Amino acid sequence: MRHTEFWSRMDHALGPAYSRSWADLFVMADLGGRTASQALADGVPPKQVWAAVWRALELPASER
């Protein structure tokens, strides 16, 4: 997964107006106590970050 696909999925799940804010503010234990934005900046693969977001938001399996 590329960063562009990650952000596209985030926009779909949360809406384009909220997805970046959520990614900057919501800390997840699955990402070592980092936000999605911090994890991406630290080099965590977007696919791994998306998996953590997917679990945190309890999205349907179809959006995995």
| Single pTM value for the model | 0.92
Spatial CB neighbours of 31, under 8 Å, sequence gap ≥ 6: 38, 39, 44, 49, 52
pLDDT tens for the 64 residues of the chain, in order: 999 999 999 999 999 999 999 999 999 999 999 999 999 999 999 999 999 999 999 998 888 8
Domain ranges of the chain: 3-59
Task: Note the pLDDT of residue 64.
Answer: 85
